[in-house]
Structures are given as C-alpha cells and as structure tokens.
Amino acid sequence: MALVGSQIFYDSLRQNRERAARFLLFVLKYATLADDSWQQKQLVSCDCGEAHRVIPCHWLGWIRRKRWIPGRSGTDHLTTESLARLARANCEIAETVTRKELEPFLEIVGINVLEQALLATDPANQTELRRKLAELAKLASQNPGEVEQLIQQIKRRLSASERLKSNRSLGNAVEQLVGTMLRAILDRRGIRVQTNYIGYDLAAYCEGRSGTEEEVGYIHVSAGTLLAKIEIKSTQGCSVSMSYAQGREATNARDNYWLCVVPIPADESIVSLDSSSIQRLARFVPRIGDTLAVSRAGIDTALQGAVAGGFELQHVEEIRYGISHSTREAGGILLTNFVETLALGATL
C-alpha cells in the first residue's frame, strides 16, 4: 500500500484493466483485513465551526478520490458500474464482493453489490433478471430461510458442474496420453490400436502384416482379430466409475475387456504427466466384467420385471458402477505386462 499515491502506481492502474482488477482484489482480500483504519471514524473540527466525522485512512481516500479504473473512454472512479465492468472480466472479483465481511467496506465506498452483479451479467438478460430478483426479494421477506437454502443448492450444483468439467478435462488428457503410448508400443508388435466411442475407449487388433495370419508369440491369430477392448479412467481419488454402457460391454466381453486406471497423485499436475508417468501409474485390470456381473444381472432382472409389470424403469443409462482402489490394485498389472499379454495373444 506504500505505492498508493505515487504517480507511477496511478498510471500503471489506469492504463491496464487487469492490473486495476488485481489491485482491487488485493484491497478486498488483504488490505481490508490487515488494516482496520478504514473502520475508524473520528470527529474533527472545521473552519466552518462544525465538527465532521472523517475516516483517517490514506489508501481509502485515494481509492475514492482518484479515477483509477480504465473505462471505455478514459478512466472512472470506483463505482458500482465500474466495478461491474471489472467483475464481468474477472470472476474472482464477482465472487469476492459477495462476502459478508466486506459489506461495511463496500457500503463506505458506495458499492451496491446487487446492482453491480446485475450490471456484470449479459445486458440482454438484465431486464428479465431484475424482474426475477424482485420476485425473489418479495419471497425472501416472507421466507428468508428458504432463500438461503436455495443459494446453497445453486452453489452445490455449480460446484458439481465445475468438478465434472475438471474431471472430463483430466480424463481426456490421460486418455490421449495412454492412447498415444499404446499405439507407439503395440504398432511395433503388429497390433493396431483404434479409437472407440461407446462402451470402451480403445480397441487393439492384430494387424496381420503379411498373409491372413499373424504370429503373436506362440499363438497364430487371424488378421483383424480383436485382442482387447480398453476403457481408460483417471482419478485423483480412491475410486473410478464406469457407465451403464461400459458395464454392459465389460460383462458381454469379459475375456478381452480391460479397465485401465491411471491414479493421479493429488500433488501432481496433469501438465507434468508424460510417458514415464503413465508407465509408472497405469494399472490394467483384466476381466473387470466378472466383478460387475452380479450387478449387471440384477439390473437386467429389474428391467425384465418392469416390462412384465407393464411399466418402465427410467434413467437406467445414468447408472454408474464404482470401482474401488482395492479392486484395481488386487488384479491390475503394469503397462509392460499388459503389452506382453497382448503380444502373446492371451488373456489372464
């Protein structure tokens, strides 16, 4: 905060919106907590003969007095409107200003938190959103506890959605790494790896480079023979899940269906994963369909019973099979062993 008031600091903020946003976050998240001078009010005498209440906080005065937030044409003071522009481009600001402990500070600087949230949304939706919030405010005055529950439900859904997006991103990255590595290794063994989309991720076939048969280890298999169906999963937790379609495929093709699990340590970034990491972490679990068979039979029985009873079971496709850490550790093998197994044309 020692820089506040210097010309070079002032110029650096008003010339760059990102720097202005970072400074505002610093003030909201740290300065307001470390320095309580903005909460202290004093009475001082004035030449007019009256006493006035002032806040002896240098940086607060600078923030309110100066035009330091870049705008469309020049710079603006910190206002509800200018804060909304920063929040529209920086979701951390939008989240921070809703903290309860910041209410007194935002009131002092003249920020209307609800109004800035509205202004930060898509202009095309603002009118409809205002109407709905007015309706919500009316309900809140009658049932304040219900509104808090609604807010928590929305936060939980958003959190779950973010986790799902993150998990998908991690899964796609790991799937590409495993696929690339298997293609490079198995191609030298005369085994072709092909991408699949429903039930499993990859399929490994005997390539058959000469004639109609290929010698794989000590076993002769026909060219085009499916050697393995491979479903790739990654996790930073204790378990992974398989979809209903994947479970159905695993139980229908137990002999050659493999579950590949890549457990990612919590302190390891996806960016740091490479071929050596995959070889060290990946475990290939054979005959996972045997483990799922009882559950699959139970689901089939329930479906048949529903048809016989004249009704329909809904959301069956959303069923997930949870595969525990102990299951994959007990039966899983390393990538090198998996490659050798395919090269021998055998299954465990």
- Report pLDDT digits (tens) over 69-108: 998 778 899 999 999 989 888 889 988 988 889 999 999 9
Structure tokens at 282: 């990946």
The neighbouring-strand residues paired with 68 are none
DSSP states of 205-217: EE---SSSEEEET
pLDDT over threshold 90, residue 294: yes
> What is the architecture of the domain spanning 157-343?
3-Layer(aba) Sandwich (3.40)
Q: Which of 40-44, 173-177, 205-209, 216-220 has the highest mean pLDDT?
A: 40-44
**pLDDT (tens digit per residue) in 160-177:** 667 666 667 767 778 888
In the chain, which residues fall in CATH 3.40.1350?
157-343
pLDDT of residue 176: 84
Mean pLDDT of the chain: 83
Joined together, the tokens standing for residue 289 give 């369909």
Who contacts 31 (Cβ-Cβ below 8 Å, separation ≥6)? 1, 59
Amino acid at 72: R
Strands (E) across 19-111 are located at 42-45, 51-54, 69-70, 75-76
Instruction: Give the tens place of pLDDT for each residue, 310-329.
Output: 998 888 888 999 998 888 78
Residue 85 three-state SS: helix
CA distance 137 to 298: 48
Contact status, residue 201 vs residue 175, Cβ threshold 8 Å: yes
Cβ count within 10 A of residue 173: 15
pLDDT-based confidence at residue 213 (cuts at 50, 70, 90): very low
Distance (Å, whole) CA 136 – CA 144: 10
Local confidence band at 208 (pLDDT 50, 70, 90 cut-offs): low
CA distance 271 to 5: 41
Q: Decide which of 206 and 288 is more confident.
A: 288
Extract long-range pairs of 101-109: CB within 8 Å, 24+ residues apart.
102/28, 102/32, 104/39, 105/28, 105/32, 105/38, 108/38, 108/55, 108/60, 109/60, 109/63, 109/64, 109/78
pLDDT tens profile 11-37? 999 889 999 999 999 999 999 989 888
Q: Give the model's confidence band at 222: pLDDT under 50 very low, under 70 low, under 90 confident, else very high.
A: low
More confident residue, 149 or 293: 293
